[in-house]
Amino acid sequence: METTNWEERRLKAQVRALRHLPPGTWLPDPPHRSDRDLLSELLSKQDEIDALQWFVDNHGDLIARALLWATLSRVRLSLQGLRFARQARQEISGPEEQRFGRLLHLPEGMTSLPELIDTRPTSVSPDLLRSAYKSFRPLWRNYAGISETESDGEEAFALLDSLFQLPEAADPLQWIQETHNHLAAIMTLSYLLGQIHLPDTLWSDEVQKIYHPRRQVRVGEFSIELHQVSLRQTSFTLTLQAGFSDRSLRIPKTLLPALRGIKWQGVESVVDAAGNHYLVKSRLENVAKRLPGRSSHSLQLLCYPTVAPEAKGLTITSNETALLVVGLHPESHRWETLHHVRLGDLTWDMKVAHRGHPQN
Residues 343, 323 contacting (CB under 8 angstroms): yes
Clarify whether residues 178 and 119 are in a common domain: yes
Kindly tell me if the per-residue pLDDT of 138 is higher than 60.
yes
Contact 269, 316 (CB under 8 A): yes
In the predicted model, is pLDDT for residue 37 greater than 90?
yes
Residues 251 and 178 grouped into a single domain: no
Q: What is the mean pLDDT of residues 101-111?
A: 77
Has residue 152 got a pLDDT over 50? Answer: no
Cβ–Cβ < 8 Å for 264, 297: yes
Which pLDDT score, from 0 to 100, does residue 158 have?
A: 79
Instruction: Taking residues 116-123, report their average pLDDT.
Output: 91
Sorting pLDDT into bands at 50, 70 and 90, what band is 151? very low
User: Does a structural domain hold residue 120?
Assistant: yes
Region 196-219: mean pLDDT is 88
Residue 92 contacts residue 85 (beta carbons within 8 Å): yes
In this structure, the answer to whether residues 86 and 190 fall within a common structural domain is yes
Judged against a pLDDT cut of 60, whether residue 131 lies above it is answered with yes
| 39 domain residue, yes or no | no
Tally the domains of the chain: 2
Residues 247 and 136 occupy one common structural domain: no
Mean pLDDT of 84-94: 70
Task: Among 175, 194, 213, give the residue marking a domain's end.
Answer: 194
Residue at 37 is within a domain: no
Distance CA 252, CA 339 (A): 11
**CATH at residue 203:** 2.60.40
The angle formed by the CA atoms of residues 62, 130 and 169, to the nearest 5 degrees, is: 115
The DSSP string of 280-341 is: EEEEEEPPPEEETTEEEEEEEEEEESPPPTT--EEEEEEEEEEEEEEEE-TTT-SEEEEEEE
pLDDT band for 3, please (50, 70, 90 cuts).
low
Report how far residue 320's alpha carbon sits from residue 9's, in angstroms, rounded to the nearest whole number: 10
- The percent of residues in the chain predicted with pLDDT above 90, rounded, is 45
Question: What does the alpha-carbon distance between residue 68 and residue 176 come to, in Å, rounded to a whole number?
Answer: 8
Residues 184 and 203 placed together within one structural domain of the fold: no
What is the per-residue pLDDT for 172?
A: 97
Q: pLDDT-based confidence at 149, cuts 50/70/90?
A: very low
Whether residues 215 and 169 fall in one domain: no
Could you tell me what percent of the chain has a pLDDT over 70?
Answer: 82
27 assigned to some structural domain: no
> Tell me, what's the pLDDT at 134?
93
Report the range out of 126-130, 142-146, 158-162 with the highest average pLDDT. Answer: 126-130
Q: Would you list the DSSP string of 21-63? A: PPTT---PPPSSHHHHHHHHHHHTS-TTS-HHHHHHHH-HHHH
Does a structural domain hold residue 287?
yes
Whether residue 25 lies inside any domain: the answer is: no
Residues 131 and 271 in one domain: no
Residue 358: pLDDT over 60: no
* 80 within some domain: yes
pTM for the model stands at: 0.86
pLDDT in tens, 290-323: 666 777 788 889 999 999 988 888 999 998 888 8
Please tell me the distance from the alpha carbon of residue 41 to that of residue 339, in angstroms, as a whole number. 42
pLDDT at position 67:
96
Q: Is 185 in the same domain as 211?
A: no
pLDDT band at residue 357 under the 50/70/90 scheme: very low
- Exposure string of 146-178, with b = 16+ CB inside 10 Å and e = fewer, is ebeeeeebeebbebbeebbeeeeeeebbebbbe
Element (H or E) spanning 140, and its range? helix 126-143
89 and 147: one domain?
A: yes
Distance CA 237, CA 202 (A): 10
pLDDT for the residue 360? 46
The last residue of a domain, from among 133, 168, 194: 194
Distance CA 230, CA 238 (A): 7
List alpha helices for 50-103, DSSP H: 51-58, 60-87, 95-100
pLDDT at 297: 80
Residue-wise pLDDT for 219-235, tens only, equals 877 888 999 999 999 99
Task: Tell whether 236 and 143 lie within a shared domain.
Answer: no
60 found inside a domain: yes
Domain that holds residue 257: 199-356
262 and 150 housed in the same domain: no
Determine the average pLDDT of the residues in 55-61: 97
Residue 277 burial by CB count (10 A; 0-12/13-18/19+): exposed, middle or buried?
A: buried
Pick from 169, 194, 219: which residue ends a domain?
Answer: 194
Cβ neighbours, 10 Å, residue 103: 20
If DSSP states are collapsed to H, E and C, what string results for 171-222?
CHHHHHHHHCHHHHHHHHHHHHHHCCCCCCHHHHCCEEEEECCCEEEEECCE
Task: State yes or no: pLDDT of 187 exceeds 70.
Answer: yes
Residue 327 and residue 228 in one domain: yes
Average pLDDT, the chain: 84
